[in-house]
Structure 1
Amino acid sequence: MPDRTELRLGEYESAPLGFEQLTPRDVDRLRALQAHGRLTLSPDRNGWRLKVDGTVGVLVLDRVRLVAEPKFAIPGEQLMSWLAYALGTPVPVTSRRWTTGPEGYADLVAAALLEQCEKLLREGLRRDYVRRQSLEPVLRGRLDVAAQATRRYGQLDQLHVRTFDREADIWDNRVLGSALKAALGLATGSDLARDLHGIVGAFPSAPTPAAALRALDRAHYTRLNARYRAAHTWARLLLRGGGVTDLLTDHGHTADGLLLAMPALWEAVVRRLATEAGALNGGLPETSSGRTAITVRGDLGNNSTFRPDLLLSLPRRDAARRTLLPVDAKYKRYDRHGISSADIHQLLTYSVGYAPTDAPNSVIIHPQPGGHRHRRLQVDGPQGRLGIIDVLGIDTRALPEESPAWIRSVLLQALS
């Protein structure tokens, strides 16, 4: 492996790079990532200026190894807990602090995959019946009469047979073999690399990473393979380079790295937090698409829609009625700054579209390192109350499982 300059940045931090540090291929890959909001690359007087947006992880370029560390919202020692919470998978026992290795996040995810794969090996890999066609000296399975007649011309020293045997070479295991190979290429810790190398041969692999991802996208879990769900979650994260189906938007531009878009992660966290908080009070998530979407028509181009990150249906004091509460995730420094006018307009639109006129409430949930915070915005006009926006700051230094009960207490107070 060629020597690479290591560049460490926090979220929304920037650093200069010389023209000679980026190859044309690097520039193309960085531009592709810039187009999808992962980072910003701009020309500078003496070269380039690279700025990391709301992204953490590792990016391996030809001459530079970029390590983007969590700085803004979720501290490194808690990142895996919040990521596991968003993914709905157990927190890895082997998860360590971000600062224990030069790659941080990449090594942590690789270690999480390794832990799950070792567990599956101890329990025994799942096997299923697989059809095979082979040339054998004795009859096994069923004789392929057509192949025997057309290829062997009546000779019986070798037999074309069709077998149907139980094997471990099935998609459940192949995707893990492909993910272990990807993890081995990213891991830098010597102990982790050794353990990955020792286990990768125990799993079959898919022909290509793209084939493994297609298999994961078609995954259906039953009681036979439910124990594979956590391992497949970490495998999907590695194979997509940080993108997770239904969690992060993946456009295929990973540039040999493992990048996690923090705003998308926070949206997934908020959806689960608010859903669990609402369930404590009999609430249910509602769809905000289709007929229930807020739609803009008549403008140039296609129709557009307004969709909150979560729409909760909550019971009112009279049990016969329910109220809709729009909830939106904001990965912004609202612990230090006031709510922007654009976000206020957005939440007021949600209130008008979904909340009852006598309770035009909506909720913003943002990360708040160092303790839960709640403040209330009241928006009034000459004709009366336009809306109430409850701003909830979630303590990201605590465990995520501790937050739904506090959110529930705030919502009960806000809707009373």
Structure 2
Amino acid sequence: MPDRTPVQLGEYESASLEPGQLTTRDVDRLRVLQARGCLTLTSERTGWRLRADATVGVLVLDRVRVVITPKFAIPGEQLMSWLAYALGTPVPTTARQWATGPDGYADLVAAALLEQCERLLREGLRRDYVRRRSVEPVLRGRLDVAAQVTRHYGQLDQLHVRTFDREADIEDNRALGSALKAALGLTTSPDLARALHAAAGAFPQARTPAAALQALDRTNYTRLNSRYRPAHTWARLLLRGGGVTDLLTDQGTTADGLLLAMPALWEAVVRRLGTEAVGPHGGHAVPGGSGVGISVRGDLGSASTFRPDLLLSRPGLAAHGTAQRTLLPVDAKYKRYDRHGVSAADVHQLLTYSSGYASVDAPVSVIVHPRPGGPAQRTLQVRGTTGLLGIIHVLGVDTHATPEQAVEWISSVLP
């Protein structure tokens, strides 16, 4: 990989670039990322200004290598623990030794993929039966009579055969080989690069990264390949450039990089935190988030819907003493609600959720936001001329703690 000028900035920070540091191709790629809300590129008299939004990761351009480190919510040494928690995959054993240095988030994900791939190699790669056609000097498998007659009629020194053998060259393994190769282009650590190169040589590779990603998206896990799930999780992350289907909204970038959308990560974290917190108390998450949602019809254009990030169903009692389940809408907010008040727009949004889902007697909803430095809880009461309109519980989750500790805390304070 050619030497590139390192440019390091934090989440929500900006950096100046000289005119010659960005090629025309770089500008086009950055404009695409800007349209997706990852960053902002503006032209200045002395060059360019690149500002990161709620995004962390690594972006490899033609002449510069941009490293965006987490600054706001989740400390760098905890990022992988929370990411693994959101993805539902085991935390890598070396997580406590990792820190966001010059190579940043990309090296962390590459090391996590490498650890899982090396485990698979120790256990032995999965093999499956693969059909192949080949020309052999002796008969193996079945003779392909049609090919033999049309291509080597009367000749028996070369036989067209069809075989059905167990091989490691299958989609489960090819996807990992492609991901290991992609990780090589992102890391600058010589030791990690050597280990990735050695592991990549032991795996077959797909024709293209896109083909590997398509294979991962259609993978169904059974008892035969369930041990591949953690490795495939990290492979998806690398091959998509940071986005994960059903978890993170980013569908990849046009530049070589690994970018993680922090608001989407926080939404995934809150969904799992809330689900695990209410489980022991007989609650569960409503499948699909919120069913049909709150719909708005009759306006210009198509109908719109409102859905909270998480809708919890909990056991309760009706006014006449009979058992009745209640719904609790929960919304993840990647905002500094540990430093300033809840915005009017978010109050209106949560009131809509409580009106549409919660009971009339208890119009309750919850905001969950990251709060480095300890958990916090406060309650907002919204009143009108006719009385109480809604109650909004604002929960600040301590991101310096472990996800398991956060689940215990939420379970104890959840209304």
Q: Which TM-score band applies after superposition, normalised by the shorter structure?
A: over 0.9
> Match for residue 272 of structure 2?
272
- TM-score, length basis structure 1: 0.97
Q: Please give the residue correspondences for 1:331-346 in structure 2 after superposition, counting only pairs within 5 Å.
A: 331-346=334-349
Contact 1:134 1:162 in 2 (8 A): yes
Contact 1:113 1:180 in 2 (8 A): yes
Q: Please give the residue correspondences for 1:244-259 in structure 2 after superposition, counting only pairs within 5 Å.
A: 244-259=244-259
C-alpha deviation, 1:45, in angstroms: 2.5
**The residue matched to 2:281 in structure 1 has which SS?**
coil
Contact 1:96 1:108 in 2 (8 A): no
Question: 2:67 aligned with 1:32, yes or no?
Answer: no
Task: Kindly report the root-mean-square deviation, in angstroms, between the aligned alpha carbons of the 2 structures.
Answer: 1.3
State the alpha-carbon separation in 1 of the partners of residues 109 and 283 from structure 2: 33
C-alpha deviation, 1:253, in angstroms: 2.0
Percent identity, please: 76
Contact 1:288 1:307 in 2 (8 A): no
> Match for residue 44 of structure 2?
44
> Match for residue 199 of structure 2?
199
Question: 2:412 aligned with 1:409, yes or no?
Answer: yes
> Match for residue 218 of structure 1?
218
Question: 2:189 aligned with 1:186, yes or no?
Answer: no
C-alpha deviation, 1:134, in angstroms: 0.4
* Per-residue deviation, residues 285-326 of structure 1 (Å, max 9, x unmatched): 114678631011111111111010000000114562010000
Correspondence for 1:330 among 320, 330, 333: 333
C-alpha deviation, 1:252, in angstroms: 3.4
**The residue matched to 1:207 in structure 2 has which SS?**
coil
> Match for residue 383 of structure 1?
386
State the alpha-carbon separation in 1 of the partners of residues 274 and 290 from structure 2: 22
1:100/1:324 CA distance change after superposition, 3 Å: closer
State the alpha-carbon separation in 1 of the partners of residues 322 and 88 from structure 2: 31
State the alpha-carbon separation in 2 of the partners of residues 221 and 292 from structure 1: 29
Contact 1:57 1:103 in 2 (8 A): no
C-alpha deviation, 1:18, in angstroms: 2.0
> Match for residue 284 of structure 1?
284
Amino acid in the other structure paired with 1:362: S
Contact 1:294 1:306 in 2 (8 A): yes
C-alpha deviation, 1:15, in angstroms: 1.5
Unaligned runs of 5+ in 2: none
1:68/1:168 CA distance change after superposition, 3 Å: same
Amino acid in the other structure paired with 1:306: F
Amino acid in the other structure paired with 1:313: S
State the alpha-carbon separation in 2 of the partners of residues 97 and 59 from structure 1: 23
Amino acid in the other structure paired with 1:75: P
> Match for residue 69 of structure 1?
69
C-alpha deviation, 1:254, in angstroms: 4.3
- After TM superposition, the structure 1 stretch with the greater mean CA deviation from structure 2, 190-199 or 386-395, is 190-199
> Match for residue 238 of structure 1?
238
Amino acid in the other structure paired with 1:397: H
Contact 2:127 2:166 in 1 (8 A): yes
State the alpha-carbon separation in 1 of the partners of residues 119 and 77 from structure 2: 24
Contact 1:126 1:168 in 2 (8 A): yes
State the alpha-carbon separation in 2 of the partners of residues 74 and 254 from structure 1: 27
Amino acid in the other structure paired with 2:110: A
1:293/1:108 CA distance change after superposition, 3 Å: same
Q: Please give the residue correspondences for 1:5-404 in structure 2 after superposition, counting only pairs within 5 Å.
A: 5-95=5-95, 99=99, 101-287=101-287, 292-317=292-317, 320-404=323-407
- After TM superposition, the structure 1 stretch with the greater mean CA deviation from structure 2, 269-278 or 309-318, is 309-318
Contact 2:290 2:310 in 1 (8 A): no
**The residue matched to 1:200 in structure 2 has which SS?**
helix
Contact 1:101 1:107 in 2 (8 A): no
Contact 1:101 1:189 in 2 (8 A): no
**The residue matched to 1:275 in structure 2 has which SS?**
helix
* Per-residue deviation, residues 76-121 of structure 1 (Å, max 9, x unmatched): 0000000000000000112355646421210010000000000000
* Per-residue deviation, residues 18-43 of structure 1 (Å, max 9, x unmatched): 22211111111011001011001112
Contact 2:372 2:399 in 1 (8 A): yes
State the alpha-carbon separation in 1 of the partners of residues 273 and 290 from structure 2: 24
State the alpha-carbon separation in 2 of the partners of residues 96 and 392 from structure 1: 27
State the alpha-carbon separation in 2 of the partners of residues 194 and 96 from structure 1: 22
State the alpha-carbon separation in 2 of the partners of residues 343 and 383 from structure 1: 22
Contact 2:131 2:162 in 1 (8 A): yes
C-alpha deviation, 1:357, in angstroms: 0.4
Amino acid in the other structure paired with 2:383: D
State the alpha-carbon separation in 2 of the partners of residues 276 and 81 from structure 1: 17
Amino acid in the other structure paired with 2:144: D
**The residue matched to 1:323 in structure 2 has which SS?**
strand
Query: How many residues end up aligned between the 2 structures?
Result: 412
Amino acid in the other structure paired with 1:148: Q
Amino acid in the other structure paired with 2:382: V
Unaligned runs of 5+ in 1: none
Contact 2:11 2:52 in 1 (8 A): yes
Contact 2:117 2:176 in 1 (8 A): yes
